[in-house]
Amino acid sequence: MDDNVKDAKVKSYITNAYAYDVVSRSGLDGKDELIAYFRKNVTDRKLVEKFDAICKQWEGLKAGCPSPSFNAPDINGKMVSLSSLKGKYVYIDVWATWCGPCRGELPYMTKLEEQYAGKDIHFVGLSCDSNKSAWEKRIQKGDIKGIQLCIGPNSDFMQKYLVKGIPRFILLDREGRIVKANAPRPSDPKTSQLFEQLLEK
């Protein structure tokens, strides 16, 4: 940007559009350099206030913060809460049966579950389906493993995690603290690399 854009207004416009989009979708972790660049190049008060507001929303989702909780039923109606999963890492998949990209990740999720079977990781699917029967039929096929729960489309958990698109993956530590509020997908090789690093601790 500095090498190719000299006009301050153009630089401000591009920087704001890019930085706001990135932070609103994926949060603050690893964004220090981007945020500093925004502060340097964007001075319009309204744009700064809007950017500050989205940063504030994500502040409670930084690595190390306690995770928002959930309490949702499994296929048998048993309620499962996040607190009941403490003691292991928790890799959460927020998904829905109607979501093509979500379905595309399911085979990779199954491979991860097989790879880390017996390890200190819970694999949890949180369905945001509004049609619960569609979710039930999909789970009853038996090919989706892990802990499968239905939280519905308007859950407090999704709102607190600022979920604006699915699939969304979240990784928590053994105490229920956030490792990554926007974790890599199962199909991303970085996911297994991250698991290996965590399990060494």
pLDDT tens digits, one per residue of 15-34: 999 999 999 988 999 999 99
- Output the CA–CA distances (angstroms, integers) from residue 72 to 110, 149, 152, 180, in the order listed: 21, 6, 9, 21
Q: Domain 71-199, what architecture?
A: 3-Layer(aba) Sandwich (3.40)
| pLDDT-based confidence at residue 1 (cuts at 50, 70, 90) | confident
| CATH 3.40.30.10 boundaries in the chain | 71-199
**Is this model's pTM higher than 0.75 or not?**
yes
Across 129-163, b (16+ Cβ under 10 Å) vs e yields: beeeeebeebbeeeebebbbbbbbeebebbebbbb
Q: What is the mean pLDDT of the chain?
A: 95
pLDDT tens digits, one per residue of 34-88: 999 999 999 999 999 999 999 999 999 999 999 999 999 999 999 999 999 999 9
Residues 22, 88: Cα–Cα separation, whole Å: 30
| pLDDT-based confidence at residue 93 (cuts at 50, 70, 90) | very high
The pLDDT value given to residue 142: 86
User: Are the C-beta atoms of residues 184 and 176 closer than 8 Å to each other?
Assistant: no
The pLDDT value given to residue 2: 87
Mean pLDDT of 138-147: 92
